[in-house]
Structure 1
Amino acid sequence: MRDAQEWAVPVLVDADQDVIIAAATAAGKTEAAFLPILTHLLNHNDPPGSVLYISPLKALINDQWGRLSRLCEQLEIPVVGWHGDISSSKKHRFLKSSEGVLLITPESLEALFVNRGSSLAGVFQNLRYIVVDELHAFIGSERGKQLQSLMHRVELVAGRRLPRVGLSATLGDMRLAAEFLRPAGVDTVTVIESKNSNQTLQVQIRGYIQPPMSELRKTPIQSPDEDGDEDETENKATPDFAIADHLYKVLRGSNNLIFPNSRRQVEWYADQLRRRCEKDGAPNEFWPHHGSLSKDLREQAEHALKAGNQAASAICTTTLELGIDIGSIKTVVQIGPPPSVASLRQRLGRSGRRPGENAVLRAYCKESPLIDGSSLSDQLRQGLVQTIAMVRLLIRGWFEPPRAQGVHASTLVQQILSIIAQCGGASAADLWKSLIAEGAFSKVEKPDFVKLLRSLGEHELIVQDSSGLLLPGTVGERLINHYEFYSAFTSDEEFRLVCDGKALGSVPVSRPLTKDQRIIFGGRRWQVRDVDLQAKVIIVTAARGGAPPQFDGLGAMVHDTVREEMRAVLADTTPCQFIDRGAHDLLDEARKTFVSLGLGERYIIESGSKCYLISWLGDHANDALRLLLNHVGLSCDNSGLAIEIDASLSRTQAALEDVGRLDAGDLDSILANVENMLREKWDWALPESLLMKSFASISLDISTAIVFAQRQSLAKQNGVATP
């Protein structure tokens, strides 16, 4: 047995404690949890017990169903998947005889509470364990807060505390992970962290220069007419074509994962690489994979990777970052800066699984040419330096701790309505106790809770009868009965793509649609023939030419430690060993800029009528710093590394002194001019004060920004630099 599997047996087999099992991808976490869990079920089978396995993805449930079914077949322990693609007959069978392993998503579990609240006591009466797979995927999100609340509600229905088991390959801070798994009971969580990771990493980062915009404008990217030759109308000057050529050269003949930073680029690269196969008369080896594709198209890519009889590479989003079994992967490709070090670590866990194989990472960075007026972020080669910094942190074993301090009051609204639906009504005292005093929303104070209930009444989400019982209001009833209620987060409005009566998948549409418009989807090119706005359907036919659809990107907030490491990369004078000549030249340019501007000794640079503030803080603190500077009267913009300020050096320094005197808790004043605080699904129903607290807790790090301003003011008074 592997170390994590061996250590898990004594702590799990008696079903008497909470456990986190953290190990690399493919290190056998599922077996580490389920071998002792199934042993317990076999040893205590009068009456037969059950296990609630909660997963972030339907695809992961399908994958784990096959894996656990093989394990449980001879044990005569049933394994039941529960999501939208599972037949009603299989679900009813489990409800009648609730034994074995139930695999479910948070949304489907929410639907069980809302639709079958009165029968859940019987369903959960013999529940022995709650297992959460890919724990890191939940922490810090609305969905994670929903999961915390659902786990507590399961225990309330079962009438006892149940052992919670968290499985994850990527956890930056074990204590925070334990606090997430068992709020207010962190010291009772046993952490098992595998040490079996002797993987050797091979890395190359390649650097490319984007051509000037004037050169790009010479030839349009999109075909001007249906019959145009796509090879002539697409601009080959962009580095994307050079990257596609290099990928085709180095990846053919092996299984690989390619991660661009947007669904749009997934489609573009899948199309380009497939066309290169066609040009060489070779079978296609490149398959797109993202959440908007139909299940059939996603499974084509997964089957191609798993089959083993032909080389296959998937161009994908985070859909293949989690633990779906896709077999052995040779190389992981990252195009653009990784979303985070934790994400990069998770992705690399796919590579080098076989004994004696190295994990291989190829990263491709695109930078803009430097011209008069180039931004400071461009001059410091922000994307390349961030990628180098993230790889250096990865090698040192650091990755982002989960950001778990969010209030997520939006999700509290959903949980209030869900409990009212589950129980046929609830008192304010019951809601306070189950959701806040003993539940997942402990950061909400009683005055804010009272205001929240009043606001829900004003929005007709709830009403109160003569006995004081809270019931669904007119609006609440309608929303609870809609299938979108079960999700704690919002998603873009999506249109289904249909060709010859067959669904290709769905795509979020944020721009006007017109007939004859060309798009790329599923790695192929299509022409829009008709749009049914009522049914949200786009009818397409196969076509040549086209521009990729506009998907949202997958960027993530950069952590403070990553920015600190970026500063260290720029201050370093030694060559970076894992970058190519193009990246070396770009890094050399950036380091010379760093030295010439004196950024090792100062944080503020004056240029003409503007100042540039380089704090080396992460995005949560930088966003807060920009907001605070706006609050004290400065006009400024955040461009990643630098905050561009329309003021002189003396005015900027005075403003930082003003920021340093602000009270981080004075949100009414600090956020008074922020107009886009409605970020989460139910934010529209929150009272203003709770909305501000929730927004600040999720999106900003005001305290760190104020401390930074205080340090700058103190340094100015003492006449010293504060690097």
Structure 2
Amino acid sequence: MTEPVPPVPVTPPTPPLPFHGTDADAVDLLHPVVLHHIVNTLQWPGLRPLQEVAVKPLLAGADALLLAPTAGGKTEAALFPVLSRMAGEDWQGTSVLYLCPLKALLNNLAPRLETYTGWLGRRAAVWHGDVTESRRNRIRREHPDVLLTTPESLEAMLVSVRTDHRGFFAGVRTIIVDEVHAFAGDDRGWHLLAVLERLRRVVDTGEQLQVIGLSATVGNPPELLRWLQGSRAGHRPAQVIAPDLAPAGPESSSTPNLADAAPAAGASGSPPVGEIELDYVGSVANAAKMLAALHRGEKRLVFCDSKKIVEELSQALRSLGVTTFLSHASLSVDERRRSEEAFAQARDCVIVSTSTLELGIDVGDLDRVIQINAPATVASFLQRLGRTGRRPGTARNCLFLTLSESALVHAAGLLLLWGRGWVEPVVPPPEPRHIVAQQMLAYCLQENRVGDRTWVEQWNGLAPFDRSAEPIVRHLVRMGYLDSDGGMLFIGPEAERAFGRRHFAELTAVFTAAPEFTVLSGRDEIGRTDPVLLTDEVEGPRLLLLGGRSWRVTHIDWKRRRCFVEPADRGGRARWLSSTDTGLSFELTRAMRDVLLGADPAVPLTRRAQERLATVRADHLDVVHPGGTMIVRTADLTDVRWWTWAGERANRTLTASLGDLADALQVPTAAYLRLRTDLTPQLWKTATADLESRLCLPHVTEEALAGLKFSTALPPRLAEATLATRLADLTGASAVLRQPVRFTLLPN
């Protein structure tokens, strides 16, 4: 293996200028070269509170969770102490891994990290799926000091025969996980933890590996830090660092949980800081007219809750002469990059995006954030709000433009929670058995052969990758995903068949991508579209809407899943499969109920929004009551609904638990579920007397199971139990059952 290139000698710095208003003790602990460049190159007058407080614990090697709003200086708060350790302790080779959830975020961060490492004569490099093989070979040879990558690419390096993973990662000392909340809330978080445990077995100092998480505001910081520590939780010093939110202290200290600190429903608190306004516009066309008329000359970032709305709104804005750019996951990488770069350099323009721009990707100096409808969580709103107010003298701002009555109530409920200071706790999805199966296959691929008794050691006792996974391993052997011979396990023919394409690339991705066709104009890839748009019946030419432009389909290559197009004037359609999330939460749905009962968020509402909200409240008088839930029967006795206002997961749980009292064919909403039409109050009282003690998990369909990647590598009952647990909300269902129920008959 080629020896690493030695660091470039660094000229001793001139004495730094004094920092005003900064803890001199903390500053003095930074390496002199780092401090010199903070003062003289960046010309900072001082460190931010987060950066200041982070110096001592990070220099001491403690694990940490750094909390601050978007653009709060989290990256520098982690890197300056870590680079100081690197220089002071003379770390060699690849010693720092910087993990991000998005390739675009890695690309965006790379120039900053290259600058900071360059101060010390060190190097940073990016490795992800879009990096060329020649660039990867150079990284393998030169071992950059800081490697920016994704957990999936990290695992790909561990399993690749082209990377000497033991030699490459032997010197890793610190792992920084950016936007850690974006991992922890779904299966990518379990995958991240499992890969980091395997990495501990590879590095020379695995027990002392420092893990630093960077996050926006969350409702349960201490729990999130313990989760990030994995098997080392309780065995290493750890600290939540959030000076802007609460006094920083050890993980065991009383760092406030923002979720627990929220006032009771209906209580009012001090209005949060920010210029927030809620409006009702009723349609995409009206939203476009508003955006074209408002804030001319300013740079505006518009968030939408679907790719379809992104496309339709962008086309409508362009038709009104507004300079418009787009960003969503089904656009090609080049198309998104061109759009984001152009937006960053422009002034009087709009970029319309899904959540792809919610995380810390720099799109320049924003003036305004506009939200079409509402995000699903308060935490997501905080991320989006944090994109504004970065310039001195400017305030954080967000204008909500709602397209429907339900979206208006949703937005008002979310803003009501925000006004109470409530933020969702980040909770990893329960029972990730399918990730256990994936990890076992990936580890066998990494080591070629694994002892059928010793495999359990590789995750250092972290549940559920511990001895409790034995039934899953036995199933993998029984079904041919693993072969067993002489006390050793290795990749079997079924794993080769299911995941072996492109050097097992499918094995390192924990989500199943929706089937989409690549759309090309000549040789240029525009993006991807749902195949339904290519198969449903149409009159005249088949027209698509993609990249904010209409295209006429000229040829479809069904075998290679490609669609060739040419520009069209107008009339294109956009469609993608809806996401498989579990819908609105109990807390948000209850806040929406509070809005219908008369609670107003602590933000201005336009006259249109006030009038429409008054109408919606009047229309819901028969289905909300402050004293409990309501069972409402129509006058013709053909429809009975239980208005629980409990969220979709709780209502799924109640539907399954009620048995034949519930409509078996329904898909419950967040607000209500359907009951049998001959239901009487006495029958209800008898049937539900002990229902809280016998709540059931929701039914799982074959279609839902197909969306759970690696579910085929699990015993069928375990796969169903995994998904059913994730579709359930036993706590919310219990809370509903403890409330009084009122029966009412809708008037004619």
Cα 1:653–1:274 shift into 2, 3 Å: farther
1:225-624 aligned at under 5 Å gives the runs: 239-277=283-321, 285-308=323-346, 310-367=347-404, 381-435=405-459, 438-439=461-462, 441=464, 446=468, 449-465=469-485, 467-478=486-497, 479-480=499-500, 481-513=503-535, 516-553=541-578, 557-572=583-598, 578-597=604-623, 599-608=625-634, 609=637, 610-624=639-653
Contact in 1 for aligned 2:645/2:670 (Cα 8 Å): no
2:94–2:168 Cα contact (<8 Å) kept? no
Which of 668, 671, 689 lines up with 1:657 in the alignment? 689
Within 2, Cα distance between the matches of 1:333 and 1:518?
29
Q: Contact 1:183 / 1:440 at 8 angstroms: preserved in 2?
A: no
Aligned residue for 2:301, secondary structure, equals: strand
Give the direction of change, closer, same or farther, for the CA distance of 1:183–1:693 in structure 2 (3 Å limit): farther
Query: Which residue matches 1:217?
Result: none
CA contact (8 A) 1:340 1:556 kept: no
Q: Is the contact made by 1:261 and 1:553 (CA closer than 8 Å) also made in structure 2?
A: no
Are 1:177 and 2:224 matched, yes or no?
yes
Partner amino acid, structure 2, of 1:73: G
Q: What are the superposed Cα offsets for residues 13-64 of structure 1, whole Å, 9 maximum, x if unpaired?
A: 23x2211111011111110000011111111226455101111111111111
Residue 441 of structure 1 aligns with an amino acid whose one-letter code is P
Output the CA distance in 2 between the equivalents of 1:364 and 1:339.
15
Higher RCO structure (Cα 8 Å, ≥6 apart): 1
Q: What's the CA shift for 1:511?
A: 4.7
Match of 2:56 in 1: 10
The residue type paired with residue 687 of structure 1 is P
Residues 652, 128 of structure 1: CA spacing in aligned structure 2 closer, same or farther, 3 A cutoff?
same
Alignment of 1:635-654 (within 5 A): 635=664, 636-647=666-677, 648-650=679-681, 651-654=683-686
Q: Secondary structure at the match of 2:628?
A: coil
Listed as ranges, the matches of 1:197-236 within 5 Å are: 200-209=273-282
Question: Residues 219 and 422 of structure 2 are in contact (CA less than 8 Å); yes or no, is this contact kept in structure 1?
Answer: yes
Q: Where does the alignment leave 5 or more consecutive residues of structure 2 unmatched?
A: 1-46, 247-270, 743-748
Please tell me the residue identity of whatever aligns with 1:580: T
Contact 2:99–2:150 (CA<8 Å) still a contact in 1? yes
Write the distance in 2 (CA, Å) between the matches of 1:681 and 1:692: 12
1:64-91 Cα offsets, whole Å, 9 max, x none, are: 1111112222321111100122232332
TM-score (norm 2): 0.82
**Which residue of the partner structure matches residue 190 of structure 1?**
239
Instruction: Give the AA of the match of 1:173.
Output: N
SS for the counterpart of 2:138 is: helix
Q: Which amino acid aligns with 1:471?
A: F
CA distance in 2, matches of 1:511, 1:458: 41
| Structure-1-length-normalised TM-score | 0.85
CA distance in 1, matches of 2:397, 2:198: 43
Structure 1 range deviating more: 50-59 or 552-561: 552-561
Match of 2:97 in 1: 52
Q: Does the CA contact (< 8 Å) of 2:51 and 2:74 recur in 1?
A: yes
In 1, the alpha carbon distance for the partners of 2:532 and 2:622 equals 43
Q: Which amino acid aligns with 1:203?
A: I
Question: What one-letter code is carried by the residue in structure 2 that aligns with 1:169?
Answer: A
Residue aligning to 1:223: none
Q: Per the alignment, do residues 54 and 125 of structure 1 end up closer, same or farther by CA in structure 2, a change over 3 Å counting? A: same
Report how far residue 631 of structure 1 moved: 6.3
Of 1-10 and 246-255, more deviation after overlay is shown by: 246-255
Q: Which is worse superposed, 254-263 or 69-78?
A: 69-78
The Cα shift of 1:702 comes to 2.8
SS of equivalent residue, structure 1 residue 482: helix
Structure 2 counterpart of 1:625: 654
588-597 or 350-359, larger mean C-alpha shift: 588-597
Q: CA deviation at 1:405?
A: 4.3
The change in CA–CA distance for 1:40 and 1:508 in structure 2 (over 3 A counts) is: farther
Q: What does the per-residue CA deviation read over 1:634-690, in whole Å, with 9 as the maximum and x for residues that have no partner?
A: 5454122111223324244444335324165xx6xx648887444311112211332
Provide the residue aligned with 2:66 in structure 1.
Answer: 21
Give the direction of change, closer, same or farther, for the CA distance of 1:420–1:261 in structure 2 (3 Å limit): same
For 2:118, the aligned partner's letter is: E
Give the AA of the match of 2:641: Y
355-364 vs 559-568, greater mean Cα deviation:
559-568
Q: In structure 2, how many angstroms separate the alpha carbons of the residues matched to 1:498 and 1:574?
A: 48
Change (3 A) 1:35 1:716: closer
- Would the alpha carbon gap of residues 633 and 258 (structure 1) be closer, same or farther in structure 2, given more than 3 Å must change? closer
Aligned-partner SS, 2:649: helix
Question: 8 Å contact 2:661–2:675 — kept in the other structure?
Answer: no
Q: Which residue of 2 aligns with 1:682?
A: 710
Aligned partner (choices 155, 178, 194) of residue 133 of structure 1: 178
Report how far residue 331 of structure 1 moved: 1.5
Q: 1:453: Cα distance to partner?
A: 2.2
Whether the 8 Å contact between 1:139 and 1:402 is mirrored in structure 2 is yes
CA contact (8 A) 1:433 1:439 kept: no
State the shift of 1:9 in Å. Answer: 0.8
Judge conservation of contact 2:412–2:600 (CA < 8 Å) in 1.
no
| 1:574–1:338 Cα change, 3 Å | closer
Using the alignment, how far apart are the partners of 2:331 and 2:392 within structure 1? Answer: 34
State the Cα distance separating 1:147 from its structure 2 match: 0.5
Q: Identify which range, 453-462 or 158-167, moves more after superposition.
A: 453-462
Moved more, 261-270 or 568-577: 568-577
The CA distance in 2 between the partners of 1:570 and 1:262, in whole Å, is 25
Instruction: Look up the SS of the partner of 1:519 in the other structure.
Output: strand
Aligned-partner residue type, residue 618 of structure 1:
G
- SS of corresponding position for 1:291: coil
Aligned partner letter, 2:626: G
CA distance in 1 between counterparts of 2:91 and 2:368 reads 49
Deviates more, 1:245-254 or 1:410-419: 245-254
1:384 Cα deviation after fit? 1.6
SS at match of 2:294: helix
1:302 positional shift: 1.4
Q: Is 1:158 the equivalent of 2:203?
A: yes
Question: Residue deviations 1:548-593, cap 9 Å, x none?
Answer: 3212346763222222322322223669752122221222123334
Equivalents in 2 of 1:631, 1:178: separation in Å? 44
Task: Work out whether residues 593 and 624 of structure 2, in 8 Å CA contact, stay in contact via their aligned partners in 1.
Answer: no
Contact map agreement 1:400 1:559 (CA 8 A) in 2: no
Q: CA RMSD in A?
A: 2.6
CA–CA distance in structure 2, aligned partners of residues 196 and 677 of structure 1: 40
DSSP 3-state at the match of 2:200: helix
Residue 522 of structure 1 deviates from its aligned partner by 0.8
Instruction: Quote how far apart the aligned CAs of 1:503 are.
Output: 1.7
